[in-house]
Chain A
Amino acid sequence: MIHLRDVTYFYPRATVPALAGLSLDVPAGQFCAVIGANGAGKSTLCYTLAGFVPHFYRGKLTGQVEVAGVDVPAASLAAIAGQVGLVFANPFNQITGARFTVREEIAFGLENLGVPLDEMRARIDDILSFAKLTELAERSPFALSGGQQQRLAIASVLVMRPPLVVLDEPTSQLDPIGSKEVFAVLRDLAATDEATVVLAEQKLEWVAVFADRVIVLHEGRIVADGPPGDVLASGDLTQYGLQPTRYTQAARAALAAGLRRDSAELPVTLEEAVEYFK
């Protein structure tokens, strides 16, 4: 689904690359999480997959970017948009401002796709209920709380059912259980092969539970890549400006205090931690 080869990208006027020789292959149906400190290149990678780099941001892109069979640098943004949906980190960038209600905002993209009217209505009702926006459907998108706006941004992308869903820190303003629910929905989309998912995130607990694969970005490069359990328990994590989950921290502290002597694999999720400390 995604094929990146030696991708290097400079924003206009930048002297250091935001992506530096990055290669990445993501097969269809995978849920791939991207983690890293602020400035590591997560958003830039998301923009590249959705074609905003280079088509909107300009700058200098070299290497190969192929997404869903589309040669991204050569294709038009419209052609890419048919394959890739991007949820921006800031929901304000997502809301068109061209529509008066939440329902119309969600319908916006579907109208452009030419989806028949009753199917459109059914899809919108479904996604409104998933995003807990049903009761707010007739509100102005601007008369919502921060978290409700972020739910709207996610909903208006998912309703289009793009083959590749790219999300840039989409849960930063969501309540805790709401965040977990978004992760679960993304896992289900990927598990049923309805979509391939690339998710930039800080919430490592849910990355650990739900993602198939985790890549760590650092200064525009991939410095770790593998199953969540391996990547998130690694001692290198802090070196890349990331903090392991409290479960991993507690296990390390228990080892240091002599409470555990064996070298069992360190836990990254609650379930693993219960097993570890039992």
Chain B
Amino acid sequence: MLDTVKNISRSILRERQADGVLGLTRQKSTTLEEGMDIIQPHVFADPGELDDLVIEPKWLFAKLAMTILRSSPESYRLAVICRGCDERAVIELIKRNQIEKDRIATVGIACSQEQASVCLCQRPYPEKLDAGVAAEGVDPFQDGQIRELLMGDDGTRMEKWAKLLKRCIKCYGCRNSCPICVCIPCKLEDEVWVDTGSIPAGMIPYHLIRAFHLSDTCVACGACQEACPVHIPLLALQLSMREILRKNFGYEAGIDPERKSPVLFDFSQEPSPERELPAWIDSLKAKI
């Protein structure tokens, strides 16, 4: 699989389909000790460098790709090694006019079954799959922790979430690492909503604004939760909203580049038989 990815990337560079390939590089350590190699992101510009390309561990590139393209000349084109969620993020960024479609190409790789169960991923593969065999999707709603977080009456859920969100150290890591959390200016930097100078960040003004802003565009990559130093299970907030869109509108962010979000774009024309909101939303009624 790795060889396939290297070969595809080489030909992309040789045939000048892109000026660089964004992925992970493994730099050999100068010591002879085992396990001392360094792994980090890299823009491969020369086919020769690609010997050092690796695809593990999970590392997401969509947002990085966006910043690279933004600061490069318009003629610059980039290829990105993409897992399923990363490809979905690239597609969302294109749909939201953050990346120009013809400046980006993806090399799609499948995730392992193991990775899929770590991520609780429903689609552990990209639509354009170039290397590897697609693993089976995992149903996150069967997971014990997720069930526990989303089950129970208003009061219980409120208590659970208030306790978890109270840990927040306001690092902005969830926002910074989310591939599609890209608004300028950001509402979370608006003092009308989010207080400055103290922690934790407020549940409604910070966390729920963020969650709602991403409700129809979250690709369930888990980047927010993985960047959270205090282990708040942020993805659980997103999953239930994704599920509602899937059930009610048959819509999933990042799958179909042509289809706009039913919430933002064409609400009236989307089929919306029995509209339903995630159960935790009525938690808002409770006082905090």
A binds B: no
